[in-house]
């Protein structure tokens, strides 16, 4: 969400909160979180967050690179775990499920598995499940 959208959301929230006292005693929620005092605290927090400087592109890229490095290391651990699971005598469906989990974690698709001969053309089908 962009900063403009966030600012607009906070402004609309402030308008809503300002409407509450005008309604008199009609607005009387039973939940403590929805009382006017707590809503004003949330508004103050939201305004403070909007006023804080955003992280720079370089900082964001550094964070992303560190996360990718951590996932690369975990990918190797997952492969070792799958190999151990495979030789442990687990069923073929369980092994396939585990391999599917690893593919999803790594952000990869399954390989092309099926071919279909429709109207004389060979069409490769990839499951998107």
Q: What is the 3-state secondary structure (H, E, C) of 75-118?
A: HHHHHHHHHHHHHCCCCHHHHHHHHHHHHHHHCCCCCCCEEEEE
pLDDT at 68: 84
**Would you state the pLDDT for residue 30?**
85
**Mean pLDDT score across all residues of the chain:** 79
Tens digit of pLDDT for each residue in 3-42? 788 889 999 989 888 888 777 778 888 888 888 888 999 9
- pLDDT > 90: what percent of the chain? 6
pLDDT on residue 44: 92
Note whether 110 and 97 are within 8 A (CB): no
Region 37-60: what's the mean pLDDT? 84
At 86 the pLDDT is 86
Say if residues 100 and 110 touch (Cβ distance below 8 Å).
yes
Whole-prediction pTM: 0.41
Cβ contact 103:109 at 8 Å:
yes
N- to C-terminal Cα distance for the chain? 29
Q: Could you tell me what percent of the chain has a pLDDT over 70?
A: 81
Q: Is the pLDDT of residue 85 over 70?
A: yes
């Amino acid at each position: 969400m962009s900063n403009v959208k966030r600012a607009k959301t906070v402004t609309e929230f402030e308008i809503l909160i300002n409407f509450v006292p005008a309604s008199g005693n009609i607005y009387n929620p039973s939940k403590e979180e929805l009382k006017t005092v707590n809503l004003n605290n949330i508004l103050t927090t939201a305004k403070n967050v909007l006023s804080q400087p955003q992280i720079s592109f370089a900082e964001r890229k550094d964070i992303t690179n560190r996360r990718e490095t951590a996932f690369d290391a975990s990918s190797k651990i997952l492969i070792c775990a799958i190999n151990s699971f495979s030789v442990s005598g687990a069923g073929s469906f369980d092994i396939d499920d585990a391999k599917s989990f690893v593919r999803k974690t790594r952000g990869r698709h399954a390989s092309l598995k099926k071919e279909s001969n429709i109207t004389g053309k060979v069409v490769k089908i990839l499951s998107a499940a």
